[in-house]
Amino acid sequence: MGLHSRGTISMSVEKWMQWICLLLLILNRQVYSQAPREVTAVIGTTAMLPCTVDFIGSQQVIWKDPRSTMLTINEQRLSNDFRYSIIRPYIREWNLQIEHVRKTDQGIYLCIINSTPAKNYEISLNVWFPPTLHTHPAALLSRGLAQNVTLTCNATGFPQPEISWFKYSDTGEKIELSRGPTSYYINDVTADDGGTYECEADNDVSPSDRRTTKLDVHFPPAILLPYQKISQSLGKDTLLECIITANPLDIHYWTKDGMRLEDDAKYRIHLWDVGSNTKTLGLHIGSLEQADYGDYSCQAQNDHGQAQDKLTLLDELLQVAHTNEKPNTDDKDNVTTAASYQSNYNDTSQEYEVTDSPTSMNMEANTSIATSTPYKKILTEHYVKTTIPPFTTPVWTECDTQPGGTPIPLPPSTPSTFTHTAAPTTTKNPNRPPDICTSKFDAIMEAHDHNVYIFKGRWIWRLDGGFHGLNRTSPTLARKVYDRPPTNNIAAAVHSTHTKFTYLFKGDKIWKYYGFQRVLKKSMSTITGYPKNVNAAVTDAEGRIYLLQGSRYYIFDEDPLGVSTVSHNITERWPGIAEDVESAVRLRNGFFYFFKGHKYRKFDDLFHRVLPGYPKHTHPVWFGPQCGGKHGQI
């Protein structure tokens, strides 16, 4: 073989040796592919820690936990914990799977190649777990007025839980108070601050943890009289009522002429629950005698104070005779169903008002209530569930027509059968009511006393029970019935069957009433979505209140006052009812009535339709014989 041949072979061998060395170098060069450096798993789930290695050659892959304990080598599990395993969906992958992740699994894991020197790849496992409250208020806390309360909740969890504080309203609504701080502070506790509070810890890992505590605020009694004066005839039974708010309510009783009254053949004393810390104390008096007329005092006391107020029982016949002899146009002493409640509490938000108008309440009782009433809300309206015969219908009065009760004898100059005479059209006297038989009315409502009231201008008409036409004593000035109502032409009226409050609407303002006593006047101009100039208001069988404006309706919220942000077409809720409804009411017979112009439509909510034969003319049907119609056609 020649020299050239030997040289060629020698160079070929050298090249092959270079390629072989390069190949061996590559095979011994282990490279980690890019993979996540941090993995998050929720406690109880499965975590997958990735490790991808290129050019592993003959080296081995080892996994170590945060405590440097060897878990696996290649695909072999070294740990006695069966939750660990190696998952290799591809030949390059050496993933560590951990089932049923625990909080103790959190930390930094190492994927190791046992080369020289060893190569490590770190992966951090974060374990999320739901919050747990470790400190929270006791289940029951008792405080007196003007004291300070701090409610604190501390929780652990990962991520760090956020603490939220809530309070449950009397209707069970959950109202958010704050979000973030671990403590909720109540300074100068009032009676309104009492109730159930809840702290909730949440970090988006289910389930959240929550605890409730009841704050029991002790306060002195306050008394509300639905009526300052009532009248009843000799020989009949009657029922006196006063509403007491106190915590605790230890002692409560009625007195007459300084003597405490007890249950006996003459008197029966009843106590009904009305709401939170509120009760109605009733006194049933049987077979009235002359000696039973006079002043009765409702009294209550506990360790924090006492309160009393006076109610006057009058002889109905004497009262009628007195008013027939000399009509009384002074608001101070009218015998009406309007409560004469008066409070000197002045909320800085001016939402709940103070009335300094004259009432028949004695000043000593006013002082008692003022010094013992820390409330920001007036008591909820209630209905007495009893078989005791109710007291007589209160007397209605007006400025320039004959006052009287229901029914009462008319003066001799008045004919025994009422014949309607249209009001003069040539002269308008602002002190005279409009002719309801030819006028459109502003609003209609079935009120808390189950009577139907018609509003027009400054006046109110009342329908007789069973809808048998106008009550013969109507109309009455609105201010004689409702405490400080809108001055003229209210837009809508509705009584809430849910909260027992009554609402009058005009422009962007709302007047809120307990019975006939005003507890709130508020501008809604700053409330998002509130419809200015509401046309009508009506409530349904579930207690929802609808505000109607043009072709749309809104759902009215009572606490806090506002409306739903989305309006709906009226015809979607009440098919067949045109837009621009002027008044509306739902009666206890279950039907809706919608008024426009001089006609109305009757809507059956069960079959979701307007009844056949409608619209009909309003006045003869609703106002009966006084407007040329018949009784009970509604």
Q: Are residues 246 and 140 in the same domain?
A: no
Q: In Å, what is the CA distance from 111 to each residue of 60, 88, 118, 343, 459? A: 10, 14, 10, 76, 88
In a domain, 480, yes or no: yes
Same domain for 210 and 120: no
115 and 142 share one domain: no
CB 494 within 8 A of CB 483: no
Task: Give 517's DSSP letter.
Answer: E
* End-of-domain residue from the set 350, 372, 394: 372
Given this model, what pLDDT does residue 301 score?
94
CB 502 within 8 A of CB 512: yes
Number of domains present in the structure of the chain: 4
Q: Kindly report, residue by residue over 513-551, the tens digit of the pLDDT.
A: 988 888 888 888 888 888 888 999 999 988 899 999 888
- Residue 528, pLDDT score: 83
CATH number of the domain encompassing residue 301: 2.60.40.10
Query: pLDDT tens digits for 57-87?
Result: 888 999 999 999 999 999 999 999 999 999 9
> Residue 354: helix, strand or coil by DSSP?
coil
Are 84 and 172 found together in one domain?
no
Is the CB of residue 365 less than 8 Å from the CB of residue 308?
yes
Asked whether residue 594 is domain-assigned, the answer is yes
Alpha-carbon separation of residue 38 from 70, 399, 409, 470, 516 (angstroms): 20, 84, 92, 80, 67
pLDDT at 13: 59
The closest alpha carbon to 314, from 234, 235, 384, belongs to 234
Q: Name the 3-class secondary structure at 322.
A: helix
260 inside domain = yes
On whether both 469 and 597 belong to a single domain, the answer is yes
Q: In the chain, what is the straight-line distance between the N-terminal and C-terminal CA atoms, in Å?
A: 132
Q: Rounded to an integer, what distance in angstroms lies between the CA atom of residue 76 and that of residue 447?
A: 82
| Residue 392 belongs to some domain of the structure | no
Show the DSSP H helices in 384-494 as ranges.
478-481
**Containing structural domain, residue 454:** 443-627
408, part of any domain: no
The pLDDT of residue 602: 92
Domain boundary among 198, 218, 238: 218
155 and 289 in a single domain? The answer is no
> Whose CA is closest to 391, among 243, 230, 519?
230
Shared domain for 62 and 100, answered yes or no, is yes
Residue 77 backbone phi and psi in degrees, to 5: -85, 125
Same domain, 149 and 87: no
- Asked whether residue 419 is assigned to any structural domain, the reply reads no
pLDDT at res. 25: 47
Q: Tell me which H or E stretch contains 367.
A: helix 363-372
- Integer Cα distance of 298 and 504 in angstroms: 31
Q: In this structure, are 113 and 175 located in the same domain?
A: no
The pLDDT of residue 607? 80
pTM score above 0.75:
no
Please check whether residue 482 lies inside any domain of the structure.
Answer: yes
CB 157 within 8 A of CB 342: no
Q: For the chain, which ranges sit under pLDDT 50?
A: 3-4, 7, 9, 24-28, 323-427
CA distance 208 to 132: 8
Q: Do both 114 and 210 map to the same domain?
A: no
* Whole-number Å distance between alpha carbons of 101 and 205: 14
Q: How many CA atoms lie within 13 A of 138 on its CB side?
A: 7
Alpha-carbon distance of 587 to 604, in angstroms, equals 11
Nearest to 456 by CA among 436, 474, 472, 432: 436
Number of H helices, E strands in the chain: 6, 45
Annotate 435-480 with DSSP letters as a single string.
-TTTS--SEEEE-TTS-EEEEETTEEEEBPTTT-SB-TT--EEHHH
Tell me if 421 is assigned to some domain: no
The DSSP 8-state label assigned to residue 52 in this structure reads: B
Query: Is there a single domain that holds both residue 237 and residue 315?
Result: yes
Neighbours of 189 (CB within 10 A): 20
Task: Classify residue 625 by burial, with Cβ atoms within 10 Å: 0-12, 13-18, 19+.
Answer: middle
At position 467, the amino acid (one-letter code) is F
Residues 556 and 491 in one domain: yes
pLDDT digits (tens, 9 = 90+) for 366-395: 333 333 333 333 333 333 322 233 333 333
What pLDDT does residue 32 have? 58
Of 81, 114, 129, the position where a domain reaches its end is: 129
The DSSP element (H or E) to which 17 belongs, if any, is helix 3-27
pLDDT of 262 reads 93
Which residues contact residue 196 at a Cβ distance below 8 angstroms, ignoring those fewer than 6 apart? Answer: 167, 168, 212, 213, 214, 215
Cα gap 196→175, rounded to integer Å: 11
Note whether 433 and 400 are within 8 A (CB).
no
Beta-bridged to residue 314, according to DSSP, are 231
CATH number at residue 612: 2.110.10.10
